[in-house]
Each structure stands twice: as structure tokens, then as C-alpha cells.
Chain A
Amino acid sequence: MLKNYLKLSLKILGRRKFFTFVSLFGIGFTLLVLTLAAAMLDHIFSSYPPETRGERTLVIDNVRMQGKDSMSTGPGGYALFDRYMRGIPQVERLSILSQPETVISYWKGARLKSLIKRTDADFFRILDFEFVEGGPFGEADVGDGRFVAVINETTRAKFFGGAPAVGQAIEVDGQTFKVVGVVPDVPIFRLMATGDIYVPVTTAKTDDYKTRLRGGFHALFLLRDKEAVEGVQQEFKARLGKVELPPQFDRIYAVPETFFASFARLFIGDFEAEDAGGRMMAILLTAAALFMILPAVNLVNLNVSRALERASEIGVRRAFGASARDLLLQFLFENVVISVVGGVLALASSAIVLALFNASDLIPYAHFSLNWRIAAWGFAFALAFGVISGVWPAWRLSRLTPIQALAGGVK
């Protein structure tokens, strides 16, 4: 049965080239945009190396302190995590890492701009960097404030022209570091892991950061197992209650959660939201649906206006006893098939667009690619689009009476 429908719909695809082209162009383009959006969001929020322990890792991206007259939102402070959040039972490791910060080096007459991340030894245990050269710095390096650095491949190329860098010295922001390891580039939008130069937090020019509750730092929690999320969040909340706040503030909000949920919290602006991630997802899907409206109306129009082509076929099928429901399903199925064909085209062309985008270097270190998750999203979009744009024409066609249909359609 379905096989017949499939045969039929492919046959119809080949029947009138202009209309097939217009339909496929519309469907393909719509799905291309949605697939590209899905691919980019996936690369920003899903697990990619070196963040390979995604389901066991929670982050704290932003913190909000609130008082009667003032409010302060942004990255957390080192003291908040170091003083209050160490030793949560279900947490295997905690890393405190600074926001990537721009620093400038003057190197052999050239000006080099890099992003520096100041962090600790556990950073390299929570994240799974595949070292190209050398290795991470350890607890002793951080404890003694040794001037050692892990750099990425692009930085190695900029400073040393790609020659081995371990053991060499680099000068950054007036400080000199000895390179101990080289890691692959991490895209700039992977806020937790990205950086050109990673150095021990203790090499900062002053100790100011050690006393601050807000500003400059994120935290990464590696849980013992992924079931522990709620327990950790509760313990975290309880500990927030004990934080000694500056006088102008009386409350502090922060939740260890996935990077997506944490981004959603900031986007929605509600730091007490129960399910920020879910709400963000709803917003994104609504945006996708809104984007589909115009292409869907376009396709509906085209399909309805082509009703006449199928009139005799419908008449015959009805005369031989097919129910309106049979026909409805058949036409809906046909539309879904053509949408899926469009979806496949979209997936193929999105690979090309992403490759061009990667080559354009518009976003540093971005290497967007396709994977089964993105393909699944593309397929879901194609199904949704096929159903949305197919229901009305299919219903119209299925309602033709045999006589009308055999006589050549309806006005």
C-alpha cells in the first residue's frame, strides 16, 4: 500500500518539471534554513570534544545578586565557588575557570591577539583535551603560581609557525609563560572550553579575584553519575543561603545546569525559572513554525491549484470505492514524501553551506559539521513541514465527489 503511494508520488514528481522545481525549491530552501539553524545550535549547546562528559557535567555560567535597589548579573566570582561550593558530596570534580579574556602580545614586531583563560588543574580532567603536544599543568603548578601555559594549535602557529612549542616561552600581556602543552582549537562559542592560552589562575597580576562573589568566573561540576543532578542542585541552593553577601544585596541566584539551560535562563531573564531550558526550546520551535508559515502557504496554494491534474484519478478511485479518508492519507503521504526529498536536498546543501561558512572564518575556530542528531532534526522538520503544508490540499482533494472529479474538478 505505502509502496504504491511512494511509487505514485515519485511518478508525480517527474510529471511536471516546473511545478516540481518550484515545490522542491520552496521546501528545500525552508528546510535548509532550519537545518542550518539546528546545526549551529547543536554545535553551540551539545556535547563536542573536549566536552565529552556532557551528561555528567553541569556549568554555572551566570549569577545574579539582587537587592532592593540594585541588581548585578554576570559571571560568578572566584570566591563564590572556591569558598562555598567545594566538597559537594555527589560532585567528583569542580573546576573554576575565568571567562575568555582578550590579551595582546607583541611578538617579533607583530601584534597578536589571543583569548586567555585562567583556570586550575581539574579543568583538564573534566574536559577531555587530546593533547597535540606535551600535557596539562597540574595541582603543583597552580598551587605555586608557576608561569606555565597550555596553548592551542592556532596560537602555536602564530607564535612559532607551527614548530614544536613545548618548552618555549611566550610573552602575553606583559607576563612570560613557558608552554607545557598544545591542544586543538575549540570554537569560540564553546564558552567553557574555548581559549587560545590556558594558564593557572594563580598567575593573575593581583589576588583581587579571590575575594569576589561576582565577576569573571564560571564553574564546571563533574558529577559522579548523571542521576545526581537534582541532589547537587539542592545542595548548591542550600549552600547559596550561607553566602555572606555585600550589604546592598539580599539574595543570590545561580543554578548548576546544562549550558543550554543556563543560556536560556539568561535569555529569558528569569533566574528563578523552574524549566528555563524547556521554555527556550518552546521559543525556538515557535520561531521555526513561524518561519514555515510563508513557505507552507505557498506550497498549499500550489498543491490546491494542481488539484485538476489529479481529478480523473480521484474520480476513478472514488468510483471504485476508496473512502475520503484513504485519499486524504494518500495525498498527505505524497506531500510528506516530497518534503522528505526536499529535506534530503536541504541536508546535502547544508553540508556545503557549513563548509563554506567554516572556510570564511567568520567565527573563529568554528568547524560546523553534520551528524545524526542534526539529520534527525532535519527529518523532523521535513515531516512537520510536509504535514503542515499537506493537510489542507489533501482534505480538499479527498472531498471531491466522484462525479465532480470525473467531470474535471471543481471551481
Chain B
Amino acid sequence: MIRHLFKLIWNRKRANALVIAEIFVCFLVLFAVSTLSLYSWTNYHRPLGFAYENVFSIDVQFSESRPEASRTSVSGPAGAAPAPPGVENPHESRQRALLAVVKSDPAVVDAAWASPLPFSHSNEVRTFAFRKRDLSYSLARCTDEYKDVMGIEITRGRWFGPEDDGGGYEAVVITEALARRAFGDQDPIGQSITGDRDLNGPAEIERRVVGVMRAFKQEGEMETEESYVLTRVAFSAAQMRRIGSMALRMKPGADASVEARLARALQAAAPDWSFKVEPMVMGAELNRRLYMAPLGVGALVALFLILMVALGLSGVLWQSVTTRIREIGVRRAMGASGMDVQRQVIGELMVMATLAMLGGIAVVLQFPFLDLLGPVPKSVFFAGLSLTIVGLYGLALVCGLHPARLATTVHPAEALRYE
């Protein structure tokens, strides 16, 4: 049966080659759409790692007119002027005082300095050799209160605190995903996540893992980066002045009047700095729109493309049934039932779809082989592939159904009289 179908397809190879080409291109489009949407869907359902309701963010712009604050380097480490250990610069004292100002507001539960904040669209990515492999993660710096402000869930070890003062290391909390990537099955607690020592470069301060958190998707539900590190910063540290934002856990019901009150209090305490208070839900909402709008537009375009292909394929098949009306007439006259004819039309289409898909699969399999998947996990890739195969067979079936039914209505006597 199948061999016979192949023969029939080969007999009309020119027209069929075009149909196969079309299904092939359609396969690629469908594959891209299904893999991307599957990826977004699984990504959306990973835990967020923090709670942003009832949190205000405050963006602070420092003035840097004081001479020791030369801050030009973006990628270089620790651009700030070094302060003697344990001694605070006036800048840091001001930061400490401002934290006290916001904490004294009755609507504020707790507050921390941290940067970059969730939904801030800025990040610091570190890429380095770690145990002779490449490792990269996004990093944020924060003071000790950040855990309670953001409601971060610790799954192993502990959150950092004053006990980490003066230990000669930087205490960090990392996400579970990063712990897996960096340490595999080993216990990450107490390990160092500093890059391999570069003999030519300056000695880097040790980053010691004191705890593991569930997750931290900085830009919200659609964030793709899973490797995230929170680094402890004390007010005496030179890094403190690089932190230009605060996060505030508010009592429920804090509204614009509270925002205005906070902004005024801060402005009064530091007239030459600028403050921008905003509920974090606004940033979350904006991000949701930013990520969803292109996805929605892409999905809509893909949907129309597939609808177009479906209509086109139906048209082509319909046309081919009318062309082959004599052939069908002969088959009917020789005793084939309408069902047999229908099966033949659909069968041919399925064989062609299979051929096209084999080509398509050969192409897309290059992605995992050449390591071009990017952040998309292999499981999602193969799930997307299976979804595409099922979807395309379904599409072919839908396209073939009407023309096939048309073929069954051919009356042998009429068909043979044709022309």
C-alpha cells in the first residue's frame, strides 16, 4: 500500500515536490512557534523567588561632584575609591541615614539598599572560568534586610548577616539553578564561587556561598536567566556607593500619598540627590506587557501564515483531485469504495508530509548538535519538535479532508465520460 503510494507520488513528482517544499517551510515555521511558546510557557511557570506586591522601589541618583568619587568604569571591578576597612565614607553614612529616614515612616515595614532591583532592566553579568569551565551569572548587591523586604525563600544554608562582617570574604546567596550548574551534586554551602585564579590579574576577593535560594527571576515571570547571585554589602564597603536604589516592604494599602511623603522626606534629607518612588507592581506590569506584546504579535502572524498554508494546501489538493478525476473513475469502476479513494488521497498527503518532515527534522536537529539552543533546554526542544510533528499531521489531515471527500463523490460513469 505505502509502496504504491510512493509510486503515485513519484508519477506526479513535479507538482508534489512543490507541495513537499511548502510543508517543509511550514514545518520550520510551526517548529519555531511551538518551541518558543513552549519555552515561554515553562519559563513562566518556574518559581519567581520573591514577592513584589506591597513593595516600593526607590531609584536614587547621587550627585558625584565630590572629588574622590570618580566613577567612569562600567565593566571594571570596584570603581570606587577605597576607604580604610571598617570606616565609612560620608557618602555611605548618608546612605545609612536615608535608610533610617524611610524606616521611620509608619507605612514601611522594612527597607534595604539593593541594586539592581527587580524590574529595573539593568544587570551586571559575570562570565568567568570556574573550575576550568565557563560559568556566568547575574549579580545584585544588597544589604541584610533585603531577604525580608523581598520575601526571598532560602532552601539551604542561611541568609547572610552581621556574622559575615570582617571575615575577609563576600557572603553570597545563589539560586538553586546556579548551585546545580556550579557544584553539581556537591553541597554548595561554604564553597567559594570566585573565578579560577588568573595569575596575571589582581587577586579577587573570595565570594563564599552561605545559602541557596529557590530562584530569583529579576525581570519577572518571563525572565530567562536562572543563575543569580545576591552579594552582601555592608555600609563600610567600598561597593556601597554603587548601590543606587532601595526596596521597601510596605504595609498593605500604601498609596500615592505615602509615595509622596517618602519622596519629600528623602528629598529633605538629601537635597542634591534625586529620588523616584514607584510601586514594584508597576514595573512588573510593564514587563509583562513588554514581553507579551512581541510574543502576541508573533503568534498572530504565525497563526495567519498557517491559516494561509492550510487554505493553499486545500486548494492544491482540490485541484489535484479534479485533475485526476479519470484515474479516480477507473478505480471506482474497478470496485474501489469511496472510502478507499478517500484513504488514497489522504494517504498520499501523509506520505508527502512525512517526507517534508524528515527534511525538516534533519534541519532542526542541527540546533542541539551544534549547541545553538541558547537558553532553551533540550527537553523543551524535543517537546516542541513532537508538538510540531503532531500539529503538522493534524494540519495535513484537516487540509486533505474536504478534497478527499470530494473525490468520493466522483461517479465512475461520469468520471470516465469526462473531457
Contacts and interface: CB of A to CB of B under 8 A. Distances in A.
B72 A205 contact: no
B69 to A, nearest CB: 9
A165 interface: no
B409 interface: no
Contact of B308 (A69, A207, A295): A295
Interface string B9-35: 001101100110110011001000000
A371 interface: no
B22 A297 contact: yes
Contacts of A396: 14
B256 A106 contact: yes
B72 A214 contact: yes
B413 interface: no
Contact of B311 (A26, A300, A304, A306): A26
B276 A248 contact: no
Given A205-B272, A298-B309, A306-B319, A106 B259 contact: yes
B273 interface: yes
Given A102-B276, A294-B305, A248 B293 contact: no
Nearest to A73: B74
Contacts of A173: 274, 276
Interface string B232-266: 00000000000000000000000011011001100
A208 B65 contact: yes
A360 to B, nearest CB: 10
B418 to A, nearest CB: 10
A364 B313 CA distance: 41
A301 B15 CA distance: 8
A249 B14 CA distance: 62
A117 to B, nearest CB: 15
Contacts of A19: 315
A305 B320 contact: yes
Contacts of B259: 104, 106, 111
Contact of A72 (B75, B256, B264): B75
B73 A248 contact: yes
A279 B33 CA distance: 28
A302 B316 contact: yes
B316 A301 contact: yes
Nearest to B266: A174
B196 interface: no
Interface residues of B, number: 54
A308 B308 contact: no
Nearest to A308: B323
Given A22-B312, A205-B274, A293-B25, A70 B63 contact: no
A246 B322 CA distance: 77
A213 to B, nearest CB: 8
B419 interface: yes
Contacts of B22: 294, 297-298, 301
B277 interface: yes
Main secondary structure of the interface of A (DSSP, over half): mixed
B75 A71 contact: yes
Contacts of B63: 205-206, 208
Contacts of A22: 308, 311-312, 314-315
A302 B312 CA distance: 6
B301 interface: yes
B263 A106 contact: yes
Contacts of A72: 72-75
Nearest to B256: A111
Given A206-B63, A297-B21, A298-B309, A104 B276 contact: yes
B216 to A, nearest CB: 24
A45 interface: no
B28 to A, nearest CB: 8
B278 interface: yes
Contact of B272 (A109, A206, A302, A411): A206
A142 B63 CA distance: 20
A13 to B, nearest CB: 15
A298 B257 CA distance: 59
B308 to A, nearest CB: 5
A305 B274 contact: no
Contacts of A110: 256
A338 to B, nearest CB: 14
Contacts of B315: 18-19, 22, 302, 305
A370 B316 CA distance: 36
Nearest to B311: A22
Interface in A253-309: 293-295, 297-302, 304-306, 308
Given A294-B25, A298-B22, A305-B319, A69 B76 contact: yes
Nearest to A33: B301
A298 to B, nearest CB: 4
Interface of B: 11-12, 14-15, 18-19, 21-22, 25-26, 29, 61, 63-65, 70, 72-76, 256-257, 259-260, 263-264, 267, 271-278, 289, 293, 301, 304-305, 308-309, 311-316, 319-320, 322-323, 419
13 contacts: A30-B308, A70-B75, A72-B74, A174-B263, A174-B267, A208-B64, A294-B25, A294-B26, A294-B29, A294-B308, A294-B309, A301-B312, A305-B319
